[in-house]
Amino acid sequence: MVSTVTTSTITTIAAMGLTTTMSIAAVVALIGFLATKELASANLSPSSQLIARFFSVGILPMVMAFAVIVAVKIAEILA
């Protein structure tokens, strides 16, 4: 069963292409970072605020990557 899942996953990734796979991973990571930051900043404990600041550092590069992904997809549609 595990080898079947692994084989299908590899086949799907190869069919979609590396760029699409990395784009999906970046968007999922951005959503995860934003959700974690919001949940951590809702709590007022010092450790939660530290976690919120920690995730804030990674959000800006992820937003920039998301903007590039959107720009490339728009360019693909218009071309």
Specify the pTM. 0.69
The H-or-E segment that residue 56 falls in is: helix 46-78
What are the distances in angstroms from CA 53 to CA 11, 16, 30, 63?
A: 38, 35, 15, 16
Answer yes or no: is pLDDT of 76 > 90: no
Angle, nearest 10°, between helix axes 2-16 and 18-42?
110
Answer yes or no: is pLDDT of 35 > 90: yes
Supply the pLDDT for residue 4: 65
Supply the pLDDT for residue 31: 93
State the average pLDDT over residues 57-76.
89
Distance of CA 22 to the CA centre of its chain: 9
